[in-house]
Structure 1
Amino acid sequence: MLTERQELILKTIMKDFTQTHEPVGSKTVMMQLPIKYSSATIRNEMAVLEEQGLIEKTHSSSGRVPSSEGYRYYLDNLVEPLQLPDSVYDKIVYQLDRPFHQVNEIVQEAAKILSDLTNYTAFAEGPETHSVTVTGFRIVPLSNRQVMAILVTSDGNVQNQVYTLPHNIHGDEVEKAVRMINDKLVGKNLKEITPSLLKTLSTSDLAGEHSSELLELVEDVIKDAASEQMYVDGQINLLNNATDNVKNIRSLYELVGHNDLISDLMNLSKSNEEDNFPVQVRLGSELPNELLKDYSLLTAEYSVGSHGKGTIALLGPTNMPYSQMIGLLEYFRNELAKKLLDYYGKFQ
């Protein structure tokens, strides 16, 4: 562990560097410290911090910047969430305080708000679907052989997909499938409706030449409705911190659009929670992709009571102002949870 003075100097370097993005010299530290120390003392302490690998020299500059180990020490021991201006809180409340017709609309808007406020890439994952049940199912003809399957769930969400039916399928087969689903599946939890359950139902209730195709249609709609929805906003903001390497920029942009990887990153942070910190920070060196080495991922879970938990996240440069971003996520997760609880209350 560092001494109190060393921690104060490291904290000062961190604060100045994340604001200016310029190496910090001993004179700058001396002017910003709340306690007066001689320049020689500060230089000696900075030398100790450098020996311990917490700060490092850049090129020919006499200033120092935090190292990966320095960021980690700061985040684990020194960072304090900062209260943001009232105008930021007012904007969050204002943008969430409008009518939404589906849970997914609220979650998608959450990603947009976070991205707009920070100029970083924001992610929002909806709450789990453990308590969501099927309330209705329809198949609507669109054109020759094309239909839209519509599934309505107890949280007000409407899942719809367009399918092309097999040749020579009869209208009465489709109607029978719709009746079977409404008779057998309405009221069931989405997580209960497994492929094996559907197969059992099809064997006893959905006989016919095209029963397997209709079963696949139903299974696809149920699967999509049961999956947690992930929304991304501000992908272009990642490029603000990208290198000039065109190949890396293209790969980075594609990376953010890869939902499976983003889910893995968010789950990685959740699986490493320590001391119940509401906001987890993973530095680029701790993320499983070399393209993210200059970035940090901040994640925060929000709870919607019996309706489950969701996650919000920010992906931005390693030298971001962590106190402000952590303070923002702490506040935002609570406001998002309140909005979703209010929304779910309409269906009780």
Structure 2
Amino acid sequence: MPTKRQALILAEIVRIYNETGQPVGSKTLMGQLPFHISSATIRNEMAALEDDGLIMKNHTSSGRIPSTAGYRYYLDHLLQPTAVSPQVFDKIAANFDHDYHEIDEIVKQSATILSNLTNYTTISLGPESANVTLTGFRVIPLGNDQIIAILATSAGTVESRVYRLLHLISSDDLEKAVRIINDQLVGLPLAVVKQKLASEIPQLLTKYLHSSTGFIDLFGDVLKRAASQHFYVGGRSNLLSFAQPTDLDQLKSVYQLLDKESILPSLLDLDQVAASKKPQDPQQVLGPISVRLGDEFNNSLLSDYGLITAKYHVGQHGDGVIAILGPTSMPYSQLIGLLQLFSDELVKKLVEYYGYFHDDS
């Protein structure tokens, strides 16, 4: 456990290294610390921090850089979020000031806005709720044996997809099938809709239709898409700005990782962080925002990365996530201050949309 003076020196090393990308020496610290001590004393304190594993030597310099453990101590005990300037606040408000027709449009836009503001890669996930229900299902013929299936939910999600039927079901039977779906399933939670689709609905379709071949698969596919979690990744190309030329293979693998929606839930699940890596009180400094570093991911591809994640709450509509992925040496105080404000503004936009949506429903 560092002393108060050692902690202040560690915080200054983190700040300088994050701003400059250069190892920090005792002479540099002498001119930056808010108190006066000799260069020899600073070196002694730095040696103690190194013995504790909080800073480490850089191979190309006599200076020191923060270790992963040093960053963790800084984040858990020393960090103070930086206030967002009025100019940045106005920019966020202006970028959100659009007419949105679906919740996913807002969630996707949030990832784009945040990546542009930070120049890092961002990940967003909209609010999820066990109470989301099916509000309607339509099928529109397009010609050439093609149709477009459209499914809407109470969360404001609209999922559409084009299918080719190849005469497997007549237009009359198709209309009957759509009517059965709406009569039997509208107003039910999506989880219940899935259950009935696997049990009762096939029997109903068989009873009233000449043939339901292909329809169950069609409806099940569009339902699965509507019920799935929709992750949006903004600023993938920003990964290039801090990658080393020798890390191109690793960078390619990280790109592929961000394209796998099956991986993203575990990446964003803060409960997966090893207990030994968690602060005694995770809310002590960061509030609803958490940070994962390096080996805390249990994924060697992300050993040099940090992930700042904010979980936000949208009342009865559920919880969502907005996150920033970048190098371990990100300017955490600025980014966490920004993310606190940004998630608040995102919630306001979502609440505004839900209010309008339900007023019109």
TM-score under structure 2 length normalisation: 0.91
Query: Structure 2 counterpart of 1:314, which letter?
Result: I
Q: What secondary structure does 1:337 align onto?
A: helix
Give, as a single letter, the amino acid of the residue that structure 1 aligns with 2:237: I
Preserved CA contact (<8 Å) 2:155 2:317: no
1:199 is displaced (CA, Å) by 2.8
List per-residue Cα deviations over 1:40-85 (Å, max 9, x = no partner).
1111101111111111111242211001111111111111111122
The equivalent of 1:309 in structure 2 is: 319
Residue 27 of structure 1 aligns with an amino acid whose one-letter code is: K
Q: State the partner residue of 1:139.
A: 139
Which of 317, 326, 345 is the aligned partner of 2:336? Answer: 326
Task: Kindly provide the amino acid, as one letter, of the partner of residue 225 in structure 1.
Answer: A
Counterparts of 2:42 and 2:184, CA distance in 1: 74
Name the structure 1 match of 2:234: 233
**Counterparts of 1:313 and 1:270 in 2: how far apart (Å)?**
15
Contact 2:82–2:334 (Cα < 8 Å) also in 1: yes
* Whole-Å separation in 2 of the counterparts to 1:41 and 1:308: 52
Instruction: Output the CA distance in 2 between the equivalents of 1:81 and 1:106.
Output: 26
Q: 2:199 matched to 1:199? A: yes
**Alignment partners' CA distance in 2, 1:214 and 1:242:** 48
Structure 1 residue aligned with 2:352? 342
How many residue pairs are counted as aligned between the two chains? 347
**Structure 2 CA distance for aligned equivalents of residues 84 and 168 of structure 1:** 59
Distance 1:198 1:175 in 2: 20
- Deviation of 1:252 after TM superposition, in Å, equals 2.4
Q: How far apart, CA to CA, are the structure 2 residues paired with 1:117 and 1:253?
A: 20
1: CA distance between counterparts of 2:157 and 2:88?
A: 30
Q: Give yes or no for contact 1:296–1:318 (8 Å, CA) kept in 2.
A: yes
Shift of 1:325: 0.9
Contact map agreement 1:198 1:219 (CA 8 A) in 2: no
The separation in 1 between residues aligned to 2:251 and 2:205, in whole angstroms, is 53
Which one-letter code corresponds to 2:66 in the other structure? P
The separation in 2 between residues aligned to 1:310 and 1:152, in whole angstroms, is 20
- 1:206/1:160 Cα in 2 relative to 1: closer, same or farther (>3 Å)? farther
Aligned 8 A contact 1:177 1:206 in 2: no
Q: Judging changes above 3 Å, is the alpha-carbon distance between structure 1 residues 168 and 181 closer, same or farther for their aligned structure 2 residues?
A: closer
CA contact (8 A) 1:146 1:163 kept: yes
- Aligned to 1:211, what secondary structure does the other structure show? coil
Counterpart CA distance in 2 for 1:206 and 1:34 is 79
Which structure 2 segments of 5+ residues have no match?
Answer: none
Alpha-carbon offset, residue 22 of structure 1 = 0.4
After superposition, what is the alpha-carbon deviation per residue over 1:132-191, rounded to whole angstroms, capped at 9, x for unaligned? 222221111112221110112223332101111143421111011110011111111223
Code of the residue aligned with 2:97 in structure 1: it is D
Whichever residue aligns with residue 234 of structure 2, its letter is D
Q: Return 294-303 or 80-89, whichever deviates more.
A: 80-89
- 1:263 corresponds to: 265
Equivalent-residue separation in structure 1 for 2:292 and 2:76 (angstroms) = 11
Note if contact 1:135-1:154 (Cα within 8 Å) is conserved in structure 2. Answer: yes
Q: Does 1:291 align with 2:292?
A: no
Residues in 1 aligned to 2:194 and 2:128: alpha-carbon distance in whole angstroms:
16
Aligned partner letter, 1:179: R
Provide the rounded CA distance (Å) in 2 between the counterparts of 1:298 and 1:141. Answer: 46
- Confirm or deny: 8 A CA contact 2:81 2:336 kept in the other structure: yes
- 1:150 partner amino acid: I
Taking structure 1 as reference, are residues 66 and 164 closer, same or farther at Cα in structure 2, changes over 3 Å only?
Answer: same
Q: Is the 8 A contact 2:205 2:212 kept in 1?
A: no
Residue identity in the other structure for 2:182: N
Change (3 A) 1:282 1:46: same
Q: Which amino acid aligns with 2:314?
A: V
Residue 253 of structure 1 is matched in structure 2 by: 255
The residue identity in structure 2 corresponding to 1:152 is A
Does 2:179 match 1:179? Answer: yes
Corresponding letter in the other structure for 1:223: K
Counterpart-to-counterpart distance in 2, 1:317 and 1:275:
21
AA paired with 1:227? S
SS in 1 for 2:245: coil
8 A Cα contact 1:129 1:190, kept in partner? no
- The question of 1:11 aligning with 2:18 is answered no
Q: Specify the SS of the correspondent of 1:316.
A: strand
Offset, 1:314: 0.7
Q: Secondary structure at the match of 1:228?
A: coil
Distance in 1 (alpha carbons) for counterparts of 2:179 and 2:346:
37
User: CA-atom RMSD, angstroms?
Assistant: 1.7
- The whole-number CA distance in structure 2 between the counterparts of 1:211 and 1:51 is 71
Task: Name the CA distance, whole Å, in 2 between partners of 1:168 and 1:287.
Answer: 48
**SS at the partner of 1:301?**
strand
How far apart in 1 are the matches of 2:343 and 2:66?
29
- CA distance in 2: counterparts of 1:83 and 1:280, whole angstroms: 18
Give the direction of change, closer, same or farther, for the CA distance of 1:318–1:260 in structure 2 (3 Å limit): same
Unaligned 5+ segments in structure 1 are none
The equivalent of 1:275 in structure 2 is 282
Shift of 1:117: 0.5
